[in-house]
Amino acid sequence: MIADVVLGLQHGDEAKGKITHQLCSKGNYTHVIRFNGGCNAGHTIYHEGKKFVTHHIPAGVFYGIPSIIGPGCVVDPDQFFREIEELEAAGIEAESLVSIAKNAHVITKLHKEEDGKDTKIGTTKRGNGPAYRDKYDRKGLRAEDLNCFEDYLVDIYEELYSKPDVEVLFEGAQGFGLDVDHGDYPYVTSSHCTTAAALLNGVPPQAVRNVWGVAKIYETYVGAKSFQPDDEIFDTIQEVGEEFGATTGRKRQCNWMNLQDLMKAVRMNGVTDLVFNKMDVLENVGEWKMYNGDNTIDFKDKEHLKSWITSYLNFHSSGVNNIYFSGNKDRI
Ligand code: IMP
Ligand code: MG
Protein backbone atom coordinates (compact mmCIF):
# COMPACT_ATOMS: atom_id res chain seq x y z
CA MET A 1 0.00 0.00 0.00
CA ILE A 2 1.11 3.55 -0.69
CA ALA A 3 -0.21 6.58 1.17
CA ASP A 4 0.39 10.27 0.53
CA VAL A 5 -0.86 12.78 3.07
CA VAL A 6 -2.00 16.37 2.59
CA LEU A 7 -2.15 18.38 5.80
CA GLY A 8 -2.29 21.99 6.93
CA LEU A 9 0.72 23.34 8.82
CA GLN A 10 -0.94 26.43 10.32
CA HIS A 11 -4.53 27.14 11.43
CA GLY A 12 -6.52 25.77 8.50
CA ASP A 13 -7.33 27.57 5.25
CA GLU A 14 -3.86 27.00 3.79
CA ALA A 15 -5.45 25.80 0.50
CA LYS A 16 -5.20 22.09 1.17
CA GLY A 17 -8.26 21.63 -1.06
CA LYS A 18 -6.37 23.07 -4.00
CA ILE A 19 -3.36 20.81 -3.45
CA THR A 20 -5.48 17.67 -2.96
CA HIS A 21 -7.44 18.51 -6.11
CA GLN A 22 -4.24 18.90 -8.13
CA LEU A 23 -2.69 15.71 -6.76
CA CYS A 24 -5.87 13.82 -7.70
CA SER A 25 -5.51 15.03 -11.28
CA LYS A 26 -1.93 13.75 -11.53
CA GLY A 27 -1.59 10.68 -9.32
CA ASN A 28 -2.71 7.08 -9.58
CA TYR A 29 -4.77 7.15 -6.43
CA THR A 30 -7.30 4.38 -5.92
CA HIS A 31 -8.83 6.15 -2.89
CA VAL A 32 -9.02 9.63 -1.39
CA ILE A 33 -9.74 9.59 2.33
CA ARG A 34 -10.67 12.51 4.57
CA PHE A 35 -8.94 11.63 7.82
CA ASN A 36 -10.17 14.07 10.48
CA GLY A 37 -12.76 16.67 11.34
CA GLY A 38 -16.27 17.16 10.06
CA CYS A 39 -18.15 19.90 8.26
CA ASN A 40 -16.26 22.53 10.25
CA ALA A 41 -13.88 22.33 7.27
CA GLY A 42 -14.43 24.30 4.10
CA HIS A 43 -12.29 23.33 1.14
CA THR A 44 -12.45 25.75 -1.74
CA ILE A 45 -11.78 24.04 -5.05
CA TYR A 46 -11.77 25.45 -8.59
CA HIS A 47 -12.67 22.69 -10.99
CA GLU A 48 -12.86 23.39 -14.71
CA GLY A 49 -13.39 27.07 -14.02
CA LYS A 50 -16.16 26.57 -11.44
CA LYS A 51 -15.84 27.28 -7.72
CA PHE A 52 -16.85 24.58 -5.24
CA VAL A 53 -16.74 24.60 -1.43
CA THR A 54 -16.76 21.10 0.06
CA HIS A 55 -17.15 20.36 3.76
CA HIS A 56 -17.35 16.58 4.04
CA ILE A 57 -16.79 15.13 0.59
CA PRO A 58 -13.16 14.42 -0.34
CA ALA A 59 -11.77 16.01 -3.50
CA GLY A 60 -11.33 12.64 -5.24
CA VAL A 61 -14.88 12.92 -6.65
CA PHE A 62 -13.74 15.64 -9.07
CA TYR A 63 -11.57 13.05 -10.84
CA GLY A 64 -13.73 9.95 -10.50
CA ILE A 65 -11.72 8.52 -7.59
CA PRO A 66 -13.56 6.58 -4.87
CA SER A 67 -13.64 8.89 -1.86
CA ILE A 68 -14.11 7.90 1.75
CA ILE A 69 -15.02 9.83 4.86
CA GLY A 70 -12.64 7.99 7.18
CA PRO A 71 -13.10 6.54 10.67
CA GLY A 72 -11.30 9.59 12.13
CA CYS A 73 -14.10 11.89 10.94
CA VAL A 74 -17.47 12.96 12.29
CA VAL A 75 -20.35 13.29 9.81
CA ASP A 76 -23.46 15.42 9.79
CA PRO A 77 -26.11 13.58 7.73
CA ASP A 78 -27.91 16.81 6.68
CA GLN A 79 -24.71 18.37 5.41
CA PHE A 80 -23.55 15.13 3.77
CA PHE A 81 -26.69 14.72 1.68
CA ARG A 82 -26.88 18.44 0.86
CA GLU A 83 -23.34 18.33 -0.44
CA ILE A 84 -23.90 15.28 -2.59
CA GLU A 85 -26.95 16.98 -4.09
CA GLU A 86 -25.02 20.17 -4.79
CA LEU A 87 -22.17 18.32 -6.46
CA GLU A 88 -24.53 16.20 -8.56
CA ALA A 89 -26.47 19.31 -9.60
CA ALA A 90 -23.19 20.82 -10.78
CA GLY A 91 -22.44 17.73 -12.87
CA ILE A 92 -19.96 16.07 -10.49
CA GLU A 93 -20.59 12.36 -10.04
CA ALA A 94 -20.45 12.10 -6.25
CA GLU A 95 -23.22 9.71 -5.26
CA SER A 96 -21.56 6.57 -6.63
CA LEU A 97 -18.04 7.50 -5.52
CA VAL A 98 -18.50 8.58 -1.92
CA SER A 99 -18.58 6.25 1.04
CA ILE A 100 -18.43 6.60 4.79
CA ALA A 101 -16.39 4.37 7.09
CA LYS A 102 -18.92 2.50 9.16
CA ASN A 103 -17.04 3.43 12.33
CA ALA A 104 -17.00 7.19 11.58
CA HIS A 105 -19.08 9.08 14.15
CA VAL A 106 -22.27 11.04 13.64
CA ILE A 107 -22.89 14.71 14.39
CA THR A 108 -26.45 14.92 15.72
CA LYS A 109 -28.88 17.82 16.00
CA LEU A 110 -28.13 17.98 19.73
CA HIS A 111 -24.42 18.31 19.01
CA LYS A 112 -25.11 21.22 16.68
CA GLU A 113 -27.42 22.90 19.19
CA GLU A 114 -24.85 22.62 21.92
CA ASP A 115 -21.97 23.84 19.75
CA GLY A 116 -24.21 26.65 18.51
CA LYS A 117 -24.03 28.18 21.99
CA ASP A 118 -20.22 28.32 22.10
CA THR A 119 -18.72 31.73 22.78
CA LYS A 120 -15.40 30.70 24.36
CA ILE A 121 -13.54 29.06 21.48
CA GLY A 122 -15.20 30.65 18.47
CA THR A 123 -16.02 27.30 16.89
CA THR A 124 -17.64 26.91 13.50
CA LYS A 125 -20.80 25.80 15.41
CA ARG A 126 -21.03 22.65 13.29
CA GLY A 127 -21.24 20.26 16.26
CA ASN A 128 -17.71 18.98 15.96
CA GLY A 129 -16.56 19.21 19.58
CA PRO A 130 -19.66 17.59 21.16
CA ALA A 131 -19.55 14.78 18.55
CA TYR A 132 -15.93 13.93 19.37
CA ARG A 133 -16.62 14.24 23.10
CA ASP A 134 -19.42 11.68 22.85
CA LYS A 135 -17.20 9.42 20.75
CA TYR A 136 -14.51 9.34 23.43
CA ASP A 137 -17.12 9.12 26.15
CA ARG A 138 -18.43 5.99 24.36
CA LYS A 139 -21.86 7.52 23.98
CA GLY A 140 -21.61 8.34 20.30
CA LEU A 141 -23.54 7.09 17.31
CA ARG A 142 -21.55 5.58 14.47
CA ALA A 143 -22.38 5.89 10.77
CA GLU A 144 -23.40 2.22 10.80
CA ASP A 145 -26.11 3.06 13.36
CA LEU A 146 -28.01 5.31 10.93
CA ASN A 147 -30.35 3.90 8.29
CA CYS A 148 -29.80 6.86 6.01
CA PHE A 149 -26.13 5.94 5.59
CA GLU A 150 -26.81 2.30 4.76
CA ASP A 151 -25.95 2.57 1.06
CA TYR A 152 -22.73 4.45 1.71
CA LEU A 153 -20.99 2.37 4.36
CA VAL A 154 -17.57 0.77 3.92
CA ASP A 155 -15.41 -1.32 6.16
CA ILE A 156 -11.96 0.25 5.89
CA TYR A 157 -10.15 -3.05 6.36
CA GLU A 158 -12.09 -4.77 3.57
CA GLU A 159 -11.80 -1.75 1.33
CA LEU A 160 -8.04 -1.23 1.61
CA TYR A 161 -6.69 -4.71 2.26
CA SER A 162 -8.53 -6.97 -0.16
CA LYS A 163 -7.08 -5.51 -3.36
CA PRO A 164 -3.51 -5.15 -4.63
CA ASP A 165 -1.89 -1.80 -5.54
CA VAL A 166 -3.92 0.42 -3.27
CA GLU A 167 -2.75 4.06 -3.34
CA VAL A 168 -4.40 6.36 -0.87
CA LEU A 169 -4.37 10.13 -0.80
CA PHE A 170 -5.26 11.37 2.67
CA GLU A 171 -6.97 14.75 2.74
CA GLY A 172 -6.57 16.57 6.04
CA ALA A 173 -8.83 19.22 7.50
CA GLN A 174 -7.91 22.20 9.73
CA GLY A 175 -4.17 22.46 10.48
CA PHE A 176 -1.38 21.62 12.90
CA GLY A 177 -1.93 24.91 14.80
CA LEU A 178 -5.50 23.73 15.56
CA ASP A 179 -4.49 20.18 16.55
CA VAL A 180 -6.09 19.23 19.86
CA ASP A 181 -2.69 18.23 21.36
CA HIS A 182 -0.12 20.39 19.57
CA GLY A 183 -2.14 23.54 18.90
CA ASP A 184 -2.78 26.49 21.20
CA TYR A 185 -5.18 24.71 23.58
CA PRO A 186 -8.05 25.45 24.20
CA TYR A 187 -8.17 27.44 20.93
CA VAL A 188 -8.04 24.26 18.90
CA THR A 189 -10.38 21.90 17.11
CA SER A 190 -11.41 18.56 18.63
CA SER A 191 -9.51 16.25 16.30
CA HIS A 192 -5.90 15.50 15.39
CA CYS A 193 -4.55 17.27 12.34
CA THR A 194 -1.23 15.42 11.98
CA THR A 195 0.30 12.77 9.72
CA ALA A 196 -0.17 10.36 12.61
CA ALA A 197 -3.90 11.13 12.52
CA ALA A 198 -4.08 9.97 8.91
CA LEU A 199 -2.58 6.63 9.96
CA LEU A 200 -5.17 6.28 12.72
CA ASN A 201 -7.66 5.65 9.91
CA GLY A 202 -6.20 2.19 9.43
CA VAL A 203 -2.99 2.46 7.39
CA PRO A 204 0.46 1.33 8.54
CA PRO A 205 3.36 3.81 8.84
CA GLN A 206 5.40 1.93 6.21
CA ALA A 207 2.84 2.94 3.60
CA VAL A 208 3.60 6.64 3.85
CA ARG A 209 5.40 8.01 0.79
CA ASN A 210 4.97 11.78 0.52
CA VAL A 211 3.70 14.17 3.15
CA TRP A 212 2.44 17.39 1.58
CA GLY A 213 2.60 20.14 4.17
CA VAL A 214 0.56 23.14 3.09
CA ALA A 215 1.23 26.62 4.47
CA LYS A 216 0.38 30.17 3.54
CA ILE A 217 3.15 32.73 3.24
CA TYR A 218 1.33 34.68 5.97
CA GLU A 219 -0.89 33.20 8.68
CA THR A 220 -4.60 33.42 9.31
CA TYR A 221 -6.76 32.22 12.17
CA VAL A 222 -10.50 32.22 12.78
CA GLY A 223 -11.82 31.96 16.33
CA ALA A 224 -12.24 33.69 19.67
CA LYS A 225 -8.67 34.54 20.64
CA SER A 226 -6.93 37.69 19.54
CA PHE A 227 -4.42 36.85 16.82
CA GLN A 228 -4.01 39.85 14.55
CA PRO A 229 -1.57 42.55 15.73
CA ASP A 230 -2.70 46.15 15.73
CA ASP A 231 -1.24 47.30 12.40
CA GLU A 232 -3.23 48.18 9.32
CA ILE A 233 -0.95 46.14 7.08
CA PHE A 234 -2.88 43.10 8.30
CA ASP A 235 -6.21 44.65 7.29
CA THR A 236 -4.70 45.11 3.85
CA ILE A 237 -3.57 41.47 3.74
CA GLN A 238 -7.05 40.38 4.87
CA GLU A 239 -8.67 42.38 2.05
CA VAL A 240 -6.21 41.55 -0.71
CA GLY A 241 -6.16 37.89 0.31
CA GLU A 242 -9.97 37.81 0.58
CA GLU A 243 -9.55 36.13 3.95
CA PHE A 244 -13.07 35.12 4.92
CA GLY A 245 -13.98 31.70 6.35
CA ALA A 246 -15.26 29.28 3.70
CA THR A 247 -17.66 27.71 6.22
CA THR A 248 -18.83 30.62 8.35
CA GLY A 249 -17.96 33.71 6.32
CA ARG A 250 -16.10 35.19 9.33
CA LYS A 251 -13.15 37.52 8.73
CA ARG A 252 -9.89 35.65 9.21
CA GLN A 253 -7.37 37.38 11.47
CA CYS A 254 -3.99 37.80 9.77
CA ASN A 255 -0.36 37.89 10.85
CA TRP A 256 3.08 37.28 9.39
CA MET A 257 4.22 33.68 9.13
CA ASN A 258 5.98 32.28 12.19
CA LEU A 259 9.03 30.36 10.99
CA GLN A 260 9.63 28.43 14.20
CA ASP A 261 6.01 27.26 14.33
CA LEU A 262 6.36 26.18 10.73
CA MET A 263 9.55 24.21 11.51
CA LYS A 264 7.81 22.45 14.37
CA ALA A 265 4.92 21.46 12.09
CA VAL A 266 7.32 20.32 9.34
CA ARG A 267 9.37 18.17 11.71
CA MET A 268 6.57 16.64 13.76
CA ASN A 269 4.68 15.63 10.64
CA GLY A 270 7.61 14.46 8.51
CA VAL A 271 6.82 16.86 5.69
CA THR A 272 8.56 15.92 2.42
CA ASP A 273 6.85 18.40 0.11
CA LEU A 274 6.23 21.90 1.38
CA VAL A 275 3.88 24.33 -0.34
CA PHE A 276 3.71 28.06 0.40
CA ASN A 277 0.46 29.40 -0.99
CA LYS A 278 -0.84 32.90 -1.63
CA MET A 279 2.51 34.34 -2.67
CA ASP A 280 0.57 36.66 -5.00
CA VAL A 281 -1.13 38.29 -2.02
CA LEU A 282 2.10 39.54 -0.41
CA GLU A 283 3.33 40.51 -3.85
CA ASN A 284 0.31 42.76 -4.27
CA VAL A 285 0.62 44.08 -0.71
CA GLY A 286 4.30 44.77 -1.36
CA GLU A 287 5.80 43.63 1.97
CA TRP A 288 7.61 40.38 2.77
CA LYS A 289 8.10 39.60 6.45
CA MET A 290 8.14 36.70 8.85
CA TYR A 291 8.79 36.07 12.54
CA ASN A 292 11.84 34.10 13.56
CA GLY A 293 11.87 33.70 17.35
CA ASP A 294 11.92 37.19 18.84
CA ASN A 295 12.95 38.82 15.56
CA THR A 296 11.03 39.92 12.50
CA ILE A 297 12.87 39.29 9.25
CA ASP A 298 12.32 41.80 6.46
CA PHE A 299 12.89 40.56 2.94
CA LYS A 300 13.73 42.82 -0.02
CA ASP A 301 11.36 41.01 -2.32
CA LYS A 302 9.86 37.66 -3.21
CA GLU A 303 13.11 36.20 -4.63
CA HIS A 304 14.98 37.15 -1.46
CA LEU A 305 12.40 35.36 0.69
CA LYS A 306 12.37 32.29 -1.54
CA SER A 307 16.13 31.79 -1.53
CA TRP A 308 16.42 32.55 2.20
CA ILE A 309 13.75 30.10 3.28
CA THR A 310 15.04 27.40 0.93
CA SER A 311 18.56 27.66 2.42
CA TYR A 312 17.12 27.76 5.93
CA LEU A 313 15.14 24.53 5.44
CA ASN A 314 18.13 22.77 3.86
CA PHE A 315 20.59 23.98 6.47
CA HIS A 316 18.37 22.85 9.36
CA SER A 317 17.87 19.34 7.91
CA SER A 318 14.12 19.82 7.81
CA GLY A 319 13.60 16.63 5.79
CA VAL A 320 11.77 18.61 3.10
CA ASN A 321 12.70 17.42 -0.42
CA ASN A 322 10.65 19.82 -2.50
CA ILE A 323 9.49 23.37 -1.85
CA TYR A 324 6.78 25.04 -3.94
CA PHE A 325 5.93 28.75 -3.92
CA SER A 326 2.49 29.24 -5.35
CA GLY A 327 0.02 32.03 -6.13
CA ASN A 328 -3.61 31.62 -5.15
CA LYS A 329 -4.80 30.12 -8.43
CA ASP A 330 -1.47 28.70 -9.64
CA ARG A 331 -0.90 25.01 -10.10
CA ILE A 332 2.10 23.53 -8.29
P1 IMP B 1 -14.47 23.68 15.68
O2 IMP B 1 -13.54 22.80 14.91
O3 IMP B 1 -15.68 24.07 14.90
O4 IMP B 1 -14.77 23.13 17.03
O5 IMP B 1 -13.70 25.07 15.96
C6 IMP B 1 -12.54 25.14 16.77
C7 IMP B 1 -11.56 26.16 16.19
O8 IMP B 1 -11.05 25.67 14.95
C9 IMP B 1 -12.17 27.52 15.88
O10 IMP B 1 -11.18 28.50 16.11
C11 IMP B 1 -12.51 27.41 14.40
O12 IMP B 1 -12.58 28.66 13.77
C13 IMP B 1 -11.33 26.62 13.91
N14 IMP B 1 -11.60 25.85 12.69
C15 IMP B 1 -12.27 24.67 12.59
N16 IMP B 1 -12.30 24.25 11.33
C17 IMP B 1 -11.62 25.16 10.62
C18 IMP B 1 -11.28 25.25 9.23
O19 IMP B 1 -11.57 24.39 8.40
N20 IMP B 1 -10.55 26.36 8.88
C21 IMP B 1 -10.16 27.29 9.78
N22 IMP B 1 -10.44 27.24 11.07
C23 IMP B 1 -11.18 26.18 11.48
MG1 MG C 1 -10.99 26.16 5.03
**pLDDT 10s digits, 147-157:** 999 999 999 99
CA distance 125 to 115: 5
Q: Is 182 a catalytic residue?
A: no
pLDDT of residue 246: 82
CA–centroid distance, residue 163 to ligand 2 (Å): 33
Alpha-carbon 80 to chain mean position: 17
Weakly modelled stretches of the chain, pLDDT under 70: none
Q: Which of 11, 39, 40 to mutate to test the pocket of ligand 1 (most atoms within 8 A of CB)?
A: 40
CA distance 291 to 84: 42
Residue 322 pairs in a beta bridge with 273
pLDDT of residue 247: 83
DSSP H stretches of helix in the chain: 16-26, 77-89, 109-116, 128-136, 156-161, 195-199, 232-240, 259-269, 279-285, 302-315
| 106 Cβ below 6 A of ligand 1 | no
Q: Whose CA is nearest to atom 10 of ligand 1?
A: 223
pLDDT of residue 132: 98
CA distance 223 to 314: 34
CA–centroid distance, residue 14 to ligand 1 (Å): 13
Q: Is 31 a catalytic residue?
A: no
| 123 Cβ below 6 A of ligand 1 | yes
pLDDT of residue 327: 95
| 223 Cβ below 6 A of ligand 1 | yes
